[in-house]
Chain A
Amino acid sequence: MKSTFKHKFLSQWELQVMVWPSIILMIVFSFVPMLGLIIAFQDYSPLSGFTGSEFVGLDNFKAFLGDKDFYNVLTNTLAISLMKLLIGFPLEIVLAILINQIRLALFKKFSQTVSYLPHFLSWVILGGMITSWLGSSGLVNSFLLSTHLISEPLSFLSNANAYWWIATLSDIWKEVGWGTILYLAAIAGIDPSLYEAAKVDGAKILKRIWYVTLPGIKNIIVLMFLLRVGSILGANLDQTLVLQNSSNMLRSEVIDSYVYHLGLAQGDFSFATAVGIFSSVISVTLLLVANFLTKKLSDSTIF
Chain B
Amino acid sequence: MKKSIIILTLVALAVSLAGCGSKTTSAELPDSKIEVTKDTPSWKNDKAKADLDWYINFDWFAQTWGNDVATKYITEDTGVNITYSSGSDDKLNTMMASGDLPDIITLEGTDPFVKEAEKFAIPLDELAKKYDPYFLDKAAKPGTLKFFTRDDGHIYGYPNSSNTNSDYEKGGIYGNEAFLVRKDIYEQLGKPDMTTPEGFISALEAAQKLAVKDETGKTVIPLGIPNFQKGNFDPNGIFNKTLADFIGVPVLTKDGKYYDRYTDADFQKWLKVIVDARQKGLTDRDMITMTKDDKNARLTNGSYFVYFSSDLNGEPDPLSMWTKEHPDKEYIAVNGPSSTIGNKTALPGTSIEGWTQTFITKNAKDPQKAMELVTYLVSEYGNNVMDFGREGETYTIKDGKPVLNPDLLELKQTDPASFEKKVGLTTHLWLQDSALLSRQMGISQFPKALQQPKKWTQDHVVPQFELASLDVYLSKESSRNKEKIDQNWSQTLAKILDAKSDSEIDQAMNEFIQYRKANGYDKLLEERNNQIAANKKKLE
Contacts and interface: CB of A to CB of B under 8 A. Distances in A.
Interface string A258-281: 000110111111010000000000
18 contacts: A5-B1, A27-B8, A33-B16, A35-B16, A46-B96, A47-B119, A47-B120, A49-B97, A131-B289, A131-B290, A137-B218, A153-B285, A245-B229, A246-B228, A247-B495, A249-B491, A250-B491, A266-B480
Interface of A: 5, 24, 27-28, 31-33, 35, 43, 45-49, 51, 63, 67-69, 128, 131-132, 135-137, 153, 155, 157-158, 245-247, 249-250, 253, 261-262, 264-269, 271
B513 to A, nearest CB: 16
Nearest to A268: B476
A165 to B, nearest CB: 16
Contact of B289 (A43, A157, A269): A157
B294 A249 contact: no
Contacts of A47: 96-97, 113, 116, 119-120
A28 B12 contact: yes
Given A47-B119, A135-B286, A265-B483, 5 more contacts: A68-B518, A131-B290, A155-B285, A266-B483, A267-B93
A216 to B, nearest CB: 42
Contacts of A247: 288-289, 491, 494-495, 498
Contacts of B328: none
B9 interface: yes
Nearest to A265: B483
Contacts of B20: 49, 51
Q: Report, as a range, how many residues of chain B touch the other chain.
A: 35 or more
A262 B479 CA distance: 9
A43 B229 CA distance: 30
A34 to B, nearest CB: 11
A135 B290 contact: yes
A245 B294 CA distance: 14
Contacts of A155: 285-286, 289
A89 to B, nearest CB: 30
B480 A48 contact: no
Interface in B367-401: none
B24 to A, nearest CB: 15
B17 interface: yes
A153 B218 CA distance: 15
Contact of A266 (B112, B116, B487): B112
A249 B487 contact: yes
A132 B298 CA distance: 13
Q: Which 10 pairs from chain A and chain B are nearest by CB?
A: A267-B112, A246-B490, A136-B285, A46-B97, A247-B494, A246-B494, A47-B119, A157-B289, A46-B96, A32-B12
B494 A27 contact: no
A67 B519 CA distance: 9
Contacts of A157: 289
